[in-house]
């Protein structure tokens, strides 16, 4: 993984993700020495950074991706643009797509359906693997959810130890836009641990009843010998920690999440 060494306008300006999205992008940005931005959920925050010439590639927790070549969320255009940023020697869009597909096909020609792609394994070996899980809990009222979030904010103290996890910090995510100085508050409660793992509790705007809290679990695994461990097995200690620390059963009166992904 090398950052382009030329001065072409195709060289990446910066990378950004929404707060609940995988922290893998943080590590890529650090490895390539690129500016990195963590923003609230909402495409407008990416747009501000693009307008200011600070951002090239971005993504959010609903799997949306984009880049500054065109204001397009998802689509083949984004895939092409990302490839061009990585392999800037390509001068034809059609050749770029074919080149990328050829690389994947060649590096994985002996793989069976369902096996991990070599390129994904190479990335994990370079930056570590981050395993993700998301749960949703429908609550009866917005007031009940606000009470839960206030409880969570008061719960986490730096240095607290939870089994194998030591809390680096806990906060209610606040974002100050580096372009216009605007401030956005109450974007979700984060528990960030010293090993890079995270637990996030966030109000969803797309819930099916009353108010819905999304719980994002992220386990960082630097040991390449453990990269093939099933994600649900690897995430279980953090899931148990999230459920016990937050007292979700007491707040929601539910025995299990409404949705698990």
pLDDT digits (tens, 9 = 90+) for 199-215: 999 987 654 556 788 89
Predicted model pTM: 0.77
- Tell me, what's the pLDDT at 40? 95
Q: What is the pLDDT of residues 106-152, one digit of tens each?
A: 778 888 888 877 777 777 888 888 898 888 777 667 777 788 888 88
Q: What is the pLDDT of residues 14-56, one digit of tens each?
A: 999 999 999 988 998 998 899 999 999 988 999 999 999 999 8
**CA atoms 91, 96, 99, 100: torsion sign:** positive
Q: How large is the C-alpha radius of gyration of the chain?
A: 20
CA-closest candidate to residue 85, choices 45, 121, 58, 112: 58
Cα–Cα distance for residue pair 230/155, rounded to 1 Å: 30
- Tell me, what's the pLDDT at 4? 40
Cα–Cα distance for residue pair 241/220, rounded to 1 Å: 15
CA-closest candidate to residue 211, choices 148, 147, 139: 139
pLDDT band at 72 (very low <50, low <70, confident <90, very high): low
Cα–Cα distance for residue pair 201/135, rounded to 1 Å: 10
pLDDT band at 197 (very low <50, low <70, confident <90, very high): very high
Return the SS3 of 226.
helix
| pLDDT of residue 234 exceeding 80 | yes
| pLDDT of residue 2 exceeding 50 | no
Residue ranges and CATH numbers for the domains of the chain are: 15-124 (3.40.120.10), 128-260 (3.30.310.50)
Tokens 């306008």 found at:
9
**Spatial contact of 195 and 119, defined as CB atoms under 8 Å apart:** no
Phi–psi pair at 2, nearest 5 degrees: -130, 140
Q: What integer best gives the mean pLDDT of the chain?
A: 80
Best-predicted range by mean pLDDT (7-11, 89-93, 244-248): 244-248
- Tell me, what's the pLDDT at 49? 95
- Tell me, what's the pLDDT at 141? 72
Alpha-carbon distances of 118 from 86, 88, 217, rounded to whole Å:
17, 22, 25
| pLDDT of residue 83 exceeding 60 | no
Tell the burial category of 103 from Cβ atoms under 10 Å away from its Cβ (0-12, 13-18, 19+): middle
Q: What is the pLDDT of residues 211-232, one digit of tens each?
A: 788 899 999 988 888 888 888 8
Helices (H) and strands (E) in the chain, counts: 8, 13
Both structure tokens of 65:
């991706």
Alpha-carbon distances of 27 from 32, 37, 147, 255, rounded to whole Å:
9, 12, 34, 36
Cα–Cα distance for residue pair 236/255, rounded to 1 Å: 16
């Amino acid at each position: 993984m090398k950052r382009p060494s030329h001065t072409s306008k195709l060289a990446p300006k910066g990378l950004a993700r929404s707060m609940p999205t995988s922290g893998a992008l943080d590590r890529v940005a650090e490895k390539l020495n690129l500016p990195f931005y963590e923003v609230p959920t909402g495409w407008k925050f990416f747009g501000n950074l693009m307008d200011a010439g600070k951002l090239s590639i971005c993504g959010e927790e609903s799997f949306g991706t984009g880049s500054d070549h065109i204001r397009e969320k998802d689509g083949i255009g984004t895939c092409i643009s990302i490839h061009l940023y990585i392999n800037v020697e390509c001068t034809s869009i059609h050749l770029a797509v074919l080149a990328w597909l050829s690389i994947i096909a060649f590096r994985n020609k002996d793989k069976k359906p369902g096996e991990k792609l070599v390129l994904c394994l190479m990335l994990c070996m370079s930056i570590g693997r981050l395993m993700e899980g998301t749960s949703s809990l429908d609550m009866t009222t917005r007031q009940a959810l606000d009470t839960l979030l206030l409880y969570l904010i008061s719960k986490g103290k730096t240095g607290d130890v939870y089994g194998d996890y030591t809390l680096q910090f806990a906060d209610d995510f606040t974002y100050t836009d580096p372009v216009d100085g605007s401030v956005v508050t109450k974007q979700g409660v984060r528990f960030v641990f010293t090993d890079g793992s995270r637990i996030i509790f966030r109000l969803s705007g797309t819930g099916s009843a009353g108010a819905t809290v999304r719980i994002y679990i992220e386990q960082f695994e630097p040991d390449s010998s453990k990269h093939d461990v099933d994600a649900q097995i690897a995430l279980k200690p953090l899931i148990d920690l999230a459920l016990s620390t937050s007292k979700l059963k007491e707040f929601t009166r539910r025995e299990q999440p409404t949705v698990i992904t």
